[in-house]
Chains A and B, each alone.
Chain A
């Protein structure tokens, strides 16, 4: 495993281009485009103000930089460095900006969610979409980029509009049976739209592309409901994490629950492997495998005692957004695993075996898990906790890597290159690339899975 040198970064803005050739990063008002392999600066664009958001177009030809404070969006072309485009939302303000999947339109959401403006880079045409709903996840594009679903709010009722992205025509418009819609998400096959209600009510609705209600699912009533939703890449499963600390898996045939995964603070099943991170001497911090010793210490414990308790956080009951429930969940790209994090047990990541529908591994870190992301190519999970280490898990085992460099590199976020060969580790002011070994060398580095009981 190799690390690149450390580069400057601001606002955690660093993104690989969809084709995997380039890496965009922002330093204040400058946008830097690098070659992924050589890390040489290919382009350097200067924006009008501090960049708050960047996004690659789907064809990796353009990149947009949003400056919400000024209501400005600047678009740069990689092929034609002299080409430029500036979109000013004026007094309407700007809160969100994104590409349409074709990479030729930009959707700007104005302040107060008054409207969404669709700017075209091909023609002079401008379209407006009124009444967008201000919610957690109000816009969703299908994976193939054909359709866009938009959550709307009209007359105190939730609606969903489905647009055809090629010409922004309204295809379907239907109201949803939600109190206060919180989010929408397309299934990866683009035929089913999952809609979930606000956290006050547990409700998951599934709509077909043509607006028919396929199914409604409600696990319980009178309690805080859905917190996070994730589709499996095969569209077979919908995992719903809720405030009761459980993940419910719905199937795509009957849309009924197959199983539910609880997240208790004690792991009872002796078949479950628990990896517990242990403190090590700082001199050895450079060692790439900090885990073997703790693993040896942790897994026998899980075997003999058959009970392993995790560190839990007592939620504050009288505050809004309590730290309970499953707040993050993600399927591995091959559908075999589901990684979840329960907010009341912030240090742990649960990895579930979807084939056997049972808990497979629990990783307990020393500090709260900031984020985790699956390798796009194989079942390999990268985890960061805001410390100077990055953690990797694969079915073969688990390891932690100290990020080299002077000073403390606190990994706050990470993103994978689509090939799975490298990933960008982001700290508050810097970022670096981490190159992972190719398959055969990884095998030796990960060690044997001797402790799978």
Chain B
């Protein structure tokens, strides 16, 4: 069998000649085949094979080899090499046609096999390299896995240690807490014990003291005495008076009186001090107030002009208050009404001052922002565009006039050549001239008109801008009112809904005005995150973005929402551009010359893509 293996393989790779030899051979005699000559091949393996084949058929065994080949071929399903025998006695003739057919078939087969082999080899190579690659990958991944496993183990170990530590610390903490509790208990018990003991001891001590007192004092101790040469007078010069039962009460009363007098004096003194302090503070307050009024009065006109009633009235109030309080009689009163007035007016003024300062701050910030105010820029752009357009038109008109002039001149020049017709033509010329003049004036008028139009247009644009601003303000105030009117949160939601609808109503009106201006940049910018945008809008309704923006974003959002709805069912790819694209891709993938596997992967990737998109959008 081993020989067969060696035979079959080169058999496929060998040329048609071999087959020819094959067919010419009749007998199979492996031992004798070795001595044959090499026919043609540079490959050592095929050399052997050729030598082997060359030994197959010789002059002598043609018949045998033919019969052998015939047998072989018939067994493989080829038609017989011999002609159909007409008689049994006759020797079967070799059918050349059949031989050639067989050979051809064999050759075709051979070629096919060769191709297949090539394919297989390349595939093999590919697979080999793939294998290598995968093995490398595998090794790498294994390494990675190993390292990560090690890392994980390390981390786990650390985690365990930390947990251990934590547990220990917890235990320690608990122990400490217990200890603290214990110590506190001990302290408390000790304290009670100590107090108890102290009381007991003190009682004993008191008893002893009492006893001692009795013993010492009642003995009529002769020693307890005072020797004085003579009694001295009292420091205040009065004589000591004996206390009797009668005078005792009066003495006591007098003492009490004196005590209360002292206390009263003290309180009076303190009250006086406090009053003084109060007066001082009041003075400071009044002064502050005056200064505030003087500081705020120059700005009085401004807020009034702005028709901001609240501040105006407050100011006038403050003025009145100032007038009232400047009277000296009220000044010293510390009654409650005055105090209230004073504090109220101060508070009001403070509020005004605060708002004023805030306004100033706002103005400052506005001034900073003014340079980048987009509305202004846009209107200017419009202006510029408009003027450009108009100028272009003028230019065109001028050119037209010029060409006409040229034509006229040419005509004139040609007319001048002909002297005879000149006279006749002169009248025409005059007519022409007049007509030209008329045309000129007409053109001039047109030009004027154009300019007028231009001016009016700019005016209209300015007015439009103002109107828009006014409208926006109105809307903002309305919104604010609406917002303020809302009481509960649920309420607010419903209000929001209403607001939304209101906006959609008004947006049509607004969109007309907006459409007159070329402003298509915004929607593109917004379209990226439209769902977010809409949510934002509902949230920030009170903040009131400009209506045009709102309408645009809203339309954008509606667009996207429709897309969303469609995208949720990617299996129906009819109106969905994304879905169609996906299918297109799929087809192109399939038609590409590549393995089927690749095609499948491509298909799956497209599906995935569509899925991803679907996920992204909502």
Contact = CB atoms under 8 A, between A and B. Distances in A.
Contact of B259 (A84, A86, A92, A210): A210
A421 interface: no
Interface string A80-101: 0011111111111000000000
B226 A114 contact: no
Interface string A116-132: 00011111111000100
A92 B232 contact: no
Interface residues of A, number: 47
A191 B262 contact: yes
Interface stretch (B118-126, B233-241, B290-298, B302-310): B233-241
Contacts of B225: 87-88, 90
B226 A85 contact: yes
A215 B222 CA distance: 47
B217 A92 contact: yes
Contacts of B266: 189, 191
B240 A125 contact: yes
B231 interface: yes
B213 interface: yes
Given A104-B235, A112-B209, A115-B213, A82 B229 contact: yes
A91 B231 contact: no
A190 interface: yes
Contacts of A124: 231
A72 to B, nearest CB: 10
B569 to A, nearest CB: 73
A114 B228 contact: no
B226 to A, nearest CB: 5
Nearest to A235: B266
A122 B240 contact: yes
B358 interface: no
B263 to A, nearest CB: 6
Interface in B224-273: 224-236, 239-240, 243, 248, 251-252, 255-256, 258-260, 262-263, 266
7 contacts: A84-B228, A84-B229, A85-B227, A103-B235, A114-B217, A122-B232, A123-B240
A228 to B, nearest CB: 24
A102 B227 contact: no
Given A85-B228, A91-B223, A210 B202 contact: no
A446 B255 CA distance: 50
B277 to A, nearest CB: 11
A135 B239 CA distance: 35
Contact of B255 (A91, A125, A164, A190): A164
Given A115-B213, A146-B258, A92 B221 contact: yes
A209 interface: yes
A208 interface: yes
B234 A85 contact: no
Nearest to A168: B243
B228 A121 contact: yes
Contacts of A77: 232
B256 A171 contact: yes
Interface residues of B, number: 42
B203 interface: yes
Contacts of B226: 85-88, 119, 126
B258 A167 contact: no
Interface string B573-608: 000000000000000000000000000000000000
B224 to A, nearest CB: 4
A86 B263 contact: no
Nearest to A83: B229
Given A90-B224, A114-B216, A146 B262 contact: yes
Nearest to B201: A156
Most buried by A among B199, B243, B259: B259
Contacts of B223: 88-91
A122 B213 contact: no
A438 interface: no
Contacts of B139: none
A121 B262 contact: no
Given A90-B224, A114-B212, A189-B266, A83 B258 contact: no
B229 A114 contact: no
Contacts of B219: 91
Given A87-B227, A114-B217, A171-B255, 19 more contacts: A77-B232, A83-B230, A84-B228, A88-B224, A91-B223, A92-B216, A102-B234, A102-B236, A104-B234, A122-B240, A123-B231, A124-B231, A125-B240, A167-B243, A167-B255, A171-B256, A190-B262, A191-B266, A208-B263
Contacts of B229: 82-85
B263 A91 contact: no
A117 to B, nearest CB: 8
A114 B262 contact: no
A54 B96 CA distance: 165
Nearest to A164: B255
A278 B203 CA distance: 55
A59 interface: yes
Contacts of B234: 102, 104, 122
